[in-house]
Structure 1
Amino acid sequence: MTSGLADNVRKYRRTAGFSQEGLAEASDLSLSTVRKVEQGGDARVETLHALARALGVTTSALFVTEAPRSVVGPQDDANRQHLAELRRALMPPIGLLPHVAELTEASELDATKQRVRDARALYEQDRYSSVAKMLPGLLRSSEAAVAALEGEDQQHAVKARSQVLLMTGQFLTQVRQYDMGYYALAEAIKLAKESDQTHTAATGVVGMCWLLLRQDRFDECEALATQTAAEIEPRLSSATTQHLAIWGELWLRVAASARRNNRPDEAKHARRMAASAAEAMGREDMSFPDHWGGFGPATAKMKAIEDALLDGDARGVIRQAGEEELSAKGLRMLGGVTANNWNRHRLDVARAHVLAGAHQDAVDELTSIKSRAAGWLTHQPMAAHIVTDLLATRKRTLTQEMREMAAHLGVTG
């Protein structure tokens, strides 16, 4: 039985005048991969991107609406159980009567802000279980504070709750609980807009765009990020560093979605805009909670290297990753980058090594990432794809490091 995806690929292939062999050559994929897709097999998004580029259509044009496959098993049960308390605090049941918050004590605003900082520090340290345990209490106490306070104090409480919701949305997106993450981010953006916190709302949009990217919703991500960037466009000569950083991150989201959607001209324009913001800043900015991500010249450079990987230019990725501004000395001069951005960049380098046939170099990169962020690595599908491809293409016996990495990522031969 074929699928709608298979039908779309076949339709566009015939429209373009390709045989299966011709499409395989034009997309730089194996004939077996093209046949597998047209027979209804699963395909990674990077495979669909390569097919779309060869066919001259957007990647989104290949997507279809079909019934999802059943999700069953111990891991699904465990996720529901582990996040039950967080779900109750974030998404309480709604009936005909007004929602009444659970009885809890409203914490002092300064205490709430400090606890958000603590949660962020735990998140950056890869301590996801600790973050999950902190968030329900933060959500309840911040909701109680908004309900209990009035006037200017209530406005400060709303801002604090927006930050709690942003932290919750970011965490849930990281651990791939997208529906809950969407709800948290949407509530954060709504609260921030209602209280005229434009930059906080825009920060929420950056997070929302990250979630959309992870769901392969490229068209929506590009449109949302472009629209928001236009709304908050700064005067480069006088804008604050935080304003420039948020604006630059929005353009990174535009570039990432457009590039994955086979819209290279739009992606290039977005990269130029992000580079303009980074140049105006001069250094990296990680001034949480004013700016939740990390952005600056080094981050813009790392994200631009992704384009070479999407084009299959493995040697280009490796060459650019070794340039001076991304060296240890260069990063120190620019103020450093966030752990998540750096680790994601090094995953790109590991992927490039696999494509270039340098298996040990790829494993060395993964091992280095594991030493810094073992838990983070298990939440990255690209890491599992890298090891899967390595196992499929390596002709010699696996090293002990390779076996250990496969076990850590749950990849079987």
Structure 2
Amino acid sequence: MSDELAENLKRLRRAKGWSQEQLAHRAGLSVGPVRKIEQGHSGVRMETLHGLARALGVRTSDLMAAGPPQPVPHEDPNSRNLRALRIALTPALGLGRTHAPAGDEPDLRRLRRMTHDNSVLYFADTYASIASELPVLIRAADDAVAWFDSGDARAAALVARSRVMNLVGRYLTQIRQYDLAHVAARRAIEDGRAAGDDLAAASGVGGMCWLLVRTERFDEAEDIAVATMDVVEPKIMGASDDQYATWGGLAMEAAAAAVRNNRPDAAKAMRKAAGTAAKAVGRTHRNLLRHWSMFGPVTATMKELEDFMIAGDARSVVRKSGEEPNLQEKNWKKLGGPSTNDGNRYRLDLARAHVRSGDLTAAMEELAAADRAAPEWFRHQASAAVTFEEITKKRRTLTTEMREVGTHLGLFL
């Protein structure tokens, strides 16, 4: 992407008649990042691209284009570690006959329970346990769909497999195995559609949106989220918490894509929709098995603060974290708290905001708290590493705790 990004940035800057210094000033940056991008350097932060897009008045996606493939390391540990999962998710396909599974009739109730248990592990960030279970779970789901060839039983098997694929896709997205994650997310949506279960399919779309945002495909993420919201929009009267949570979750995904793509008005509208759904739910809705939802007023408010951070308004993030009633833990008994994942992502946003506001001690406290709460999850977070590096650039003397956090992030190896 670096060559195309360099050319796109030069073209858009020159069309405005600006020098590199003028663009940097309007984007709130030093001139160094602009020069590096136009020289073809890689490793550009998304915040930098967003600031440049905002200054130029274009979408962030307009700055980016696919570049030539880079050489792949000969020894990729995840290729070995995920071999069983890869085989289960993408089985070989030939032209011979496919036989239905032998043995007893699959137990759909047990399959749903296994999926639920692994979803609980995912939300608790216990990734090592999930990795060993998912190949077994995928094969069990495939066997169930192959066994039941018609009627309600087949629809139930398809929904069960949709939930399995949703879990697999989210897990793979979390550990940055994006190509495999796309396969799983697509299968989750297709199975939900085939079963005629719009909410199951929409939950799969939510997983796909998160993957698309993580891979900087912002236009597509916003488009499919909004289109799916139209399909599953709750009725004014009689809608269930599942419906509100699914619709509100899609609104948050659409907002996340829009704000990163320099579409603040669209993001604001989607945040408002998410807030409406959260108010209708009233407190955190937890339904891990049916629609993968942990959604409510606390989650919606936490996600809204992301927009301020992406827009470069760190002081508002810090201020609102202390003022917003939904973010005060004393209110969570009434409102319900966030998932561990959402809570820790909020901590990372707050840590980054503290760094930008000059409070390095508070930033380090948030990083350390996230590391203690979810160590397996934490070491996969690139934003944690970026924030930690910003702290160490400003503070040369490191405490023991700081060294432990840095080591866990793989920065001192």
TM score, norm. by length of structure 1: 0.95
- CA deviations 1:329-351 (Å, max 9, x no partner) are 12221011111111111110000
In structure 2, relative to structure 1, the CA distance for the partners of 1:83 and 1:225 (3 Å cut) is same
- CA deviations 1:36-78 (Å, max 9, x no partner) are 111111211111111110111110000012112223165x2x1
Q: How do 1:8-407 residues align onto structure 2 when only pairs under 5 Å count?
A: 8-42=8-42, 43-72=44-73, 74=75, 76=76, 78-99=77-98, 107-150=106-149, 151-322=151-322, 323-394=324-395, 396-407=396-407
Q: Retained in 2: the 8 A contact 1:104–1:141?
A: no
SS across alignment from 1:294:
strand
Q: Which amino acid aligns with 2:81?
A: H
In structure 2, relative to structure 1, the CA distance for the partners of 1:137 and 1:366 (3 Å cut) is same
- CA deviations 1:264-289 (Å, max 9, x no partner) are 11111111111111112211111221
In structure 2, relative to structure 1, the CA distance for the partners of 1:205 and 1:153 (3 Å cut) is same
Q: Which amino acid aligns with 1:89?
A: A
Q: Which moved more, 1:281-290 or 1:197-206?
A: 281-290
Q: Retained in 2: the 8 A contact 1:169–1:185?
A: yes
Distance 1:24 1:163 in 2: 46
For 1:410, the equivalent position in structure 2 comes to 410
State the Cα distance separating 1:105 from its structure 2 match: 6.5
Q: Which amino acid aligns with 2:317?
A: V
Distance 1:104 1:319 in 2: 61
SS across alignment from 2:289:
coil
Q: Retained in 2: the 8 A contact 1:59–1:262?
A: yes
Q: Retained in 2: the 8 A contact 1:236–1:244?
A: no
Q: Retained in 2: the 8 A contact 1:104–1:144?
A: no
State the Cα distance separating 1:189 from its structure 2 match: 1.0
Q: Which amino acid aligns with 1:45?
A: M
Distance 2:99 2:55 in 1: 55
Q: What is the total number of aligned residue pairs between the two structures?
A: 409
Distance 1:109 1:168 in 2: 18
Q: Retained in 2: the 8 A contact 1:212–1:218?
A: yes
Q: Which moved more, 1:403-412 or 1:148-157?
A: 148-157
Distance 1:104 1:186 in 2: 29
Q: Retained in 1: the 8 A contact 2:163–2:290?
A: no
Q: Retained in 1: the 8 A contact 2:156–2:195?
A: no
SS across alignment from 1:137:
helix
Q: Which has the higher contact order (CA 8 A, sep 6+)?
A: 2
SS across alignment from 1:290:
coil
Q: Retained in 1: the 8 A contact 2:125–2:341?
A: no
Distance 1:357 1:107 in 2: 58
Q: Which amino acid aligns with 1:389?
A: E
% identical aligned pairs? 44
Distance 2:28 2:239 in 1: 44
Q: Retained in 2: the 8 A contact 1:20–1:34?
A: yes
State the Cα distance separating 1:86 from its structure 2 match: 0.8
In structure 2, relative to structure 1, the CA distance for the partners of 1:272 and 1:221 (3 Å cut) is same
Distance 1:348 1:379 in 2: 15
State the Cα distance separating 1:101 from its structure 2 match: 7.1
State the Cα distance separating 1:160 from its structure 2 match: 1.5
Distance 2:199 2:333 in 1: 27
TM score, norm. by length of structure 2: 0.95
Could you tell me which runs of 5 or more consecutive residues in structure 1 were left unpaired when the two chains were aligned. none
Deviation beyond 6 Å, 4+ runs, structure 1: 101-105
State the Cα distance separating 1:98 from its structure 2 match: 5.0
